[in-house]
Amino acid sequence: MKPYTFHPEADEEFLAALAHYAEKSQTLGRRYYHAIDALIAEVCHAPTLFRRLPGPGAVRRHFKKPFPYAVLYVDEPDSVLVLAVAPFKRRPGYWRHRLKR
């Protein structure tokens, strides 16, 4: 299993969503945290398994119900870089500038 790192903006958006759900209910916050953590674990276990998005950067996406968020990432040689924990309602591709680290 590969290790992973968050792009700083992805970390911020993950923590903001976590705070949002935890404010509604501690249980909901925990469920969100564990759901995203499970997505990332699946990505790190098999990074080439999930759908590659069209465009530059070899970005892939993984998501599951019940939360309307996708983990967008790049499979790098030694790790997985999480570019975004993207809510489905945001403009597609808003995170593309993060490829230019």
pLDDT of residue 101: 61
pLDDT of residue 70: 98
Reported pTM: 0.94
The answer to whether residue 95 is domain-embedded is no
The answer to whether residue 94 is domain-embedded is no
Question: Which helix (H) or strand (E) is 40 found in, with range?
Answer: helix 26-45
Is there a contact between 7 and 18 (Cβ–Cβ < 8 Å)? no
pLDDT of residue 57: 83
Q: What is the residue range of 35's domain?
A: 4-89
The answer to whether residue 66 is domain-embedded is yes
The answer to whether residue 32 is domain-embedded is yes
The answer to whether residue 18 is domain-embedded is yes
Count of structural domains within the chain: 1
- Give pLDDT < 50 ranges for the chain: none
User: What CATH number is given to the structural domain containing 38?
Assistant: 3.30.2310.20
pLDDT of residue 100: 83
The answer to whether residue 101 is domain-embedded is no
